[in-house]
Amino acid sequence: MIVDTHSQLWTKEALATFPNFMLESYQRMFGKHLTPTIDDTIRDMDEAGVDRAVIVAVDAETTYGFKTPNDLVAQAVAKYPDRLIGFAGVDPRKGKIALKEIEHAVKELGLKGLKFIPHLNKLRTNDPLFYPIYEMAQEMGIPIIFHTGTQYHAQTRLRYCHPLDLDDVAVDFPRLKIVAAHFGWPWVGDAIALAMRHENLYLNVAGWAPKHYPDLLIRYANGPLKNKVLFGSDYPLVSRKRIISELRGHKGLKPEVVDKILSENPLKFLGL
């Protein structure tokens, strides 16, 4: 079974409040194919041989007026319950409202984790506003995916995206499963150091074509981090078919490590 731990719900409905200047900046970088239907998502999975995929909600309402609602993610999961796994998004600036939304998302909507894009919330991941959320997530046993590293949302700042901020989170919440998405590029060494140091912290490769993986990541994926690197596509930014094809043909990655990245590691991480 191949499991994609990180993809987007970028339907027109999901992006209804996405600022145009941000969408345009992504279109310049990745092309104009960025509003697929949920059926397009399933077709992309089928073409790549992907069995299950995580799709995520986003809440940056207090900063940018942008929200992909958790209910919309839950509706997509309900349409394809054997294929999609929903992760919730909440705005940490909303305080107790955010905590109530997590309870609703997990207990009533059946979503299985959380996703944060800290530069959209204008908060570093070790900001105290996040801590009640981390405490709740740890007690509920749900994982959190964090955007780390560079990004292409216009008019936002990279200082919120440094993976080293997750060192505090991993220390203070040792039972919380944490993913540093996009392996923290360009701070790859820092992200690797975190995954080496913390049993509860993982890396994913979302948003990257494998032919562009840095040598340092390949070296550690083949060795001490062979059980902690997770397949993610960041679809629709990169097609799953391209990623898997390049992974299977990668001359630097061991075939057994590719199998771990695509299947064994995500299955264990998500508890499937």
**Spatial separation of the C-alpha atoms in residues 92 and 146, rounded to whole Å:** 13
Give the count of beta carbons closer than 10 Å to the beta carbon of residue 189. 14
Query: 203 CB contacts (<8 Å, ≥6 apart)?
Result: 179, 180, 181, 183, 184, 191, 192, 195, 217, 225, 228, 229, 230
**Cβ-based neighbours of 215, under 8 Å, separated by 6 or more:** 252
Nearest Cα to 113, choosing from 61, 77, 80, 149?
Answer: 77
pLDDT for the residue numbered 10: 85
Rounded to an integer, what distance in angstroms lies between the CA atom of residue 216 and that of residue 213? 8
Pick among 3.40.50.720, 3.30.160.250, 3.30.750.24, 3.20.20.140: CATH of 3-270? 3.20.20.140
Angle at 14 between CA 8 and CA 19, to 5 degrees: 100
State how beta strands 58-60 and 66-68 pair: antiparallel
Structure tokens at 23: 């969408």
What pLDDT is attached to residue 98?
Answer: 98
pLDDT (tens, 9 = 90+) of the chain, 272 residues, equals: 999 999 999 888 988 888 777 778 777 767 666 778 999 999 999 999 999 999 999 999 999 999 999 999 999 999 999 999 999 999 999 999 999 999 999 999 999 999 999 999 999 999 999 999 999 999 999 999 999 999 888 889 999 999 999 999 999 999 999 999 999 999 999 999 999 999 999 999 999 999 999 999 999 999 999 999 999 999 998 899 999 999 999 999 999 999 999 999 999 999 99
pLDDT of residue 152: 83
Angle CA(119)–CA(90)–CA(32) in degrees, nearest 5?
A: 55
Residue 85 corresponds to which tokens in the numbers above? 């796994």
